[in-house]
Structure 1
Amino acid sequence: MSAAVPLATPRSLWRRERFLLLRRASQLGVLALFLLGPWAGVWVVKGNLASSLTLGVLPLTDPFVLAQTLLAGHAPGATALIGAAVVLLFYGLVAGRAYCAWVCPVNAVTDGAAWLRRRLRLTGGRAPSRQLRWWLLGAVLAASALTGHAVWEAVNPVTLTQRAVIFGGGLAWAALGAVFAFDLLAAPRGWCGHVCPMGAAYALIGSKPLLRVAATHSSRCNDCGDCYAVCPEPLVLVAPLKGKDGAGPVVTARECTSCGRCVDVCSTDVLRFTHRFDRQRD
């Protein structure tokens, strides 16, 4: 190891887990807002993660669901269109694929499977091609057009999770168990990184957002590999960390979910959150 590369130093729990804790707080907070209505009669948010109205003023509509609805031949209301525009602007201009890491409740399930794989040191399984999610995205849209229904919503683990938490139901919990088992035993980081068409949709929506992770202090990297171990899309880190083919320090790949786990686990503080135009590197 070069003497110029710093050794790992002890860090507090907050420094090691801050973005993970913030993401869990965000995911639980979103679910709590939806639960306040049916459980406590306090209707801060009405609807679900596919389409909602906050405080009777702010509509939010999932663009992927809206696309299925339009292709199915149904005319959405003005509120749904405005809600989709709000979501498109936020994730398209600012947050990228952050929905997958900071809002989607299934993320906690897949993160749990990845954590257990590391703890059990499981190395088996083979993830399908990363192109599968793009094929599924196209297939879902085509099937919606052919059947006249938003077909993904019938099996969408995100929708099923919300139904399971609010209303219960064995089928919904079984779907979540299947996703967990798939990631744990069959395909490491398989669901979010290789299968989910909703994740593919948000990758398209947020292909050039302002918020990005950057390997600003890449000279400090000691090649420990911790960031690759926790990243749900580890391929996005290679070029920024190594400056491959003249790449800058910013993670520009649309697959990045801005989860911040690479920032959390980096013991030499190589990585940080910044904006996509930040070219600083040392």
Structure 2
Amino acid sequence: MRLNLTVDARAEGVAAKGWLRAHKWWFLRRFTQITALGVFMAGPLAGLWLVRGNFASSEILGVLPLSDPFIALQSLAAGMVPASVALLGAGLIALFYVMVGGRAYCGWICPVNIVTDTAQWLREKLVITRDRKLDRRTRLWVLAGALLASLLSGTIAWEFVNPVSLLQRGLIFGLGAGWTVIAAVFLLDLLVTRRGWCGHLCPVGAFYGLVGKASIARVAAARRGDCTNCGACFQICTEPHVITPALKGTGSTLILSGDCLNCGSCIDACPVDVFEMAMRGRSATPR
């Protein structure tokens, strides 16, 4: 049984392309995640107010409003009509993720992804094999539950326990009760189930997965005829079920599932460069 799946998945890519090329997209993702978090923290910690607000609602340089569309939905469910500027910000964010891939938020922006990836790395280092299977559709039920809770309570219910907001506040203001939620997410992925939070429970990921069904930017198995069946892409992918139709099917080579994070991990891991970033309407047939 292969226990160090992430290391094993990258091994052939590293051997074929070198360490840097086999980690190209990983480095880009970590850079954007840390930069996004750093921009939000620069104001309260260093007085550099490039962005005011948080991941839920912010304003760039005092001009461009941005709002989480999931927050806007909860506001509407709670009976509160968001201000026009908030609706504009939610529309801009939704449009952006329709273009780049809904769950690109999870892989490229969300700071909790670093927490869960760290839990996965430690899980493999400690050879923890316990993996309680959860239905990935559970996150859709949590999404519906968050909207129902907003409806019944008249509040933006998810923000009380949102790990992203709690992590940001914890890093700025220090330890608090919010760290209990972050620790619970970490321990869930470490001790209970592989990729449990992002893959099965997070309602924000579920929401952006729905948005991502229409996204323009996609990963494509453009050279699937070159596939050696090494399995590296399936081992490294956090949502491996999205790969099969594009890699093993006879139709489009585009990964069209909204569950795809557009993270590029499969591109990094593949030793024969089967995968590439593409656009809907292009790279639709194998080369």
Q: C-alpha displacement at 1:262, in angstroms?
A: 0.9
Quote the offset at 1:39 in angstroms.
1.0
Counterpart in 1 of 2:262? Answer: 258
Residue ranges of structure 1 left out of the alignment (5+ in a row): 1-5
Offset from partner CA, 1:165-211 (integer Å, 9 cap, x none):
11112322222221111112111111111100100111112211111
Which of the residues 19, 36, 41 maps onto 1:35? 41
Question: Once superposed, what is the RMSD of the aligned Cα atoms?
Answer: 1.7
- Aligned ranges 1:61-72 → 2 under 5 Å: 61-72=67-78
Residue equivalent to 2:20 = 14
* Greater shift in the superposed pair: 42-51 or 113-122: 113-122
- Structure 2, gaps ≥5 residues long: 1-11
> 2:89, 2:184 → 1: CA distance?
31
| Secondary structure of residue in 1 paired with 2:34 | helix
| Corresponding position: 1:92 with 2:98 | yes
- Of 248, 251, 260, the match for 1:242: 248
Aligned pair partner of 1:49 in 27, 36, 55: 55
Q: Which residue number corresponds to residue 226 of structure 1?
A: 232
- Of residues 185, 189, 199, the one that matches 2:191 is 185
Amino acid at match of 1:131: R
State whether structure 2 residue 205 is matched by structure 1 residue 199.
yes
* In structure 2, C-alpha distance between the alignment counterparts of 1:14 and 1:8, rounded to whole Å: 8
Conserved? CA contact 2:222–2:285, under 8 Å: yes
Measured after TM superposition, the shift of residue 79 of structure 1 is 1.3
- Map Cα deviations across residues 90-119 of structure 1 (whole Å, 9 max, x no partner): 112333321111100011111112222333
SS in 2 for 1:248: coil
Q: How does 1:93-132 map to 2 (within 5 A)?
A: 93-132=99-138
Q: Does structure 1 conserve the Cα–Cα contact (< 8 Å) formed by 2:13 and 2:22?
A: no
Partner Cα distance (2:13, 2:79) in 1: 59
Partner Cα separation in structure 1 for residue 236 and residue 14 of structure 2: 17
TM-aligned CA deviation for residue 229 of structure 1:
1.4
Quote the Cα distance in structure 2 between the aligned partners of 1:23 and 1:100. Answer: 10
Instruction: Please say if residues 221 and 274 of structure 2, whose CA atoms lie closer than 8 Å, have aligned partners that are also in contact.
Output: yes
Q: Do 2:138 and 2:201's aligned partners in 1 also have CA atoms closer than 8 Å?
A: yes
Q: Is the 8 A contact 2:221 2:286 kept in 1?
A: yes
1:168 to 174, 186, 192: 174
The amino acid that maps onto 1:281 is: P
Greater Cα shift, 48-57 or 10-19: 10-19
**Residue of structure 1 in register with 2:147 after alignment:** 141
Supply the distance in 1 between the matched residues of 2:203 and 2:13 (Cα, whole angstroms): 40
Partner of residue 210, structure 1: 216
Tell me, what secondary structure is at the counterpart of 2:177? helix
AA at the equivalent of 1:194? H
In the superposition, the TM-score normalised over structure 2's length comes to: 0.91
TM-score by length of 1: 0.93
How much has 1:76 moved relative to structure 2? 1.6
**Equivalent residue for 2:6?**
none
TM-aligned CA deviation for residue 73 of structure 1: 1.6
**What is the CA-CA distance between 1:9 and the residue it aligns to?**
4.6
Cα distance in 2, alignment partners of residues 89 and 32 from structure 1: 24
- For residues 100-140 of structure 1, the C-alpha deviation after alignment (integer angstroms, 9 at most, x for no partner) is 11100011111112222333343222131111111111111
Q: How many Å apart are 1:18 and its aligned residue?
A: 0.9
d(CA) in 1 for partners of 2:14 and 2:114?
28
- In 2, Cα distance between the equivalents of 1:279 and 1:67? 34
> How far does residue 260 in structure 1 lie from its aligned partner after superposition?
0.8
- Structure 2 vs 1, CA of residues 35 and 8 (structure 1 numbering), >3 Å: closer, same or farther? closer
* Distance in structure 2 (CA, Å) of the matches to 1:181 and 1:158: 16
Amino acid corresponding to residue 250 of structure 1 in structure 2: L
2:89 maps to which residue?
83
